[in-house]
Amino acid sequence: MNMNVMDRIKEVENDIGNLSSAQKILLATDGSVTTILDVLKGHINVETLVQEFREADDAQAQDLGINKGDTINYRTVVMSHKPEEPLIHAISLTPVDKLTNNFKEDLLKADIPIGRILRKYNIESRREVTHIGSEEPDEELRSIFHTDSTMLTRVYNIIYKDEILIQIKETFPYSLFRE
């Protein structure tokens, strides 16, 4: 079920201060984030930090609608304009048993943003935002973004043929996308 995106955005503003138009849209949109970053910043690159197969634990299995122990692809990436300009950190969980072949190959291949893969294969899907919030950065995020800024974050599912194709958690500093 979609939460009320407008209400959550207002709660975040109450907690940490006004959000810019771009920040609100990045948290709320059900469209491709790659496309948005492309037009805001110029062509976006993706650098993969971690990519490995894991067995779903209880919480992941429940989130993804799969069984505990099923294989998931765990991936963390940084989307950047240039290497020195990190924009969004993303963690994705993909249940791999559900994927068809071509598609799977690209999805598991490092460094291709999901939005471009969906477009390449003309995939009809929908996105469902399940969480919007703010949080303090851990060491990894501090070091990636070179900032202590509070982070804005959201979680959403990309749903394809009524199943969760991929769950993505995106995080970026409150100090970015301010203009």
- Contacts with a copy of itself, residue ranges (CB under 8 A): 2, 5-6, 9, 20-22, 24-25, 27-32, 35-36, 38-40, 42-43, 118-119, 122-127, 159-162, 177, 179
Q: How far is the CB of 22 from a copy of itself (least distance, A)?
A: 4
Q: How far is the CB of 14 from a copy of itself (least distance, A)?
A: 15
CB 88, CB 7: distance < 8 Å: no
The b-or-e profile of 53-70 (16+ CB within 10 A means b, else e) is eeebeeebbebbebeeeb
Residue whose CB is less far from a copy of itself, 6 or 110: 6
Q: Which two tokens stand for residue 99?
A: 């994927």
Residue whose CB is less far from a copy of itself, 14 or 122: 122
Residue whose CB is less far from a copy of itself, 52 or 179: 179
| Distance (Å, whole) CA 157 – CA 30 | 10
Q: How far is the CB of 118 from a copy of itself (least distance, A)?
A: 7
- Measured in degrees and rounded to the nearest 5, phi and psi for residue 49 equal -95, -45
